[in-house]
Structure 1
């Protein structure tokens, strides 16, 4: 039973992070300066995941591909965990 709780927690965490990244991207179109409180909260939640990816990716002119990479990595981690169980 404890492993079931841990598995559920991990999958929930992956889903929450994926949704937070998606909402951050969408809100960046509405609030590009990040002045809204929800934008700041989403930035605080997602930056620990996005910053390491951003530091590895080459610089692009105006596109930040780190959210796409992060969401793909989170889904890959989820699939790996599911296949290992």
Structure 2
């Protein structure tokens, strides 16, 4: 029998973060629509934030796998 706790918590976490991201993007988009000059700035900033997030995710992943290999962990995918 599969443990249901991680499924429930991960689902809840995704719903909460997804809802928060939706309303944050909506709020910024509506705020930018009040002033058309700011719309391109919001989109550019959103792109920069997304790029920084992906870069940091890559760096943290490489660091984690490097540390795991250095400690002798088997990180191969079955």
TMscore range, shorter length: 0.3 to 0.5
TM-score, normalized by length of structure 2?
0.41
Task: Kindly indicate whether structure 1 or structure 2 has the higher relative contact order, using CA contacts under 8 Å at least 6 residues apart.
Answer: 1
TM-score norm. by structure 1 comes to 0.38
Structure whose CA Rg is larger: 2
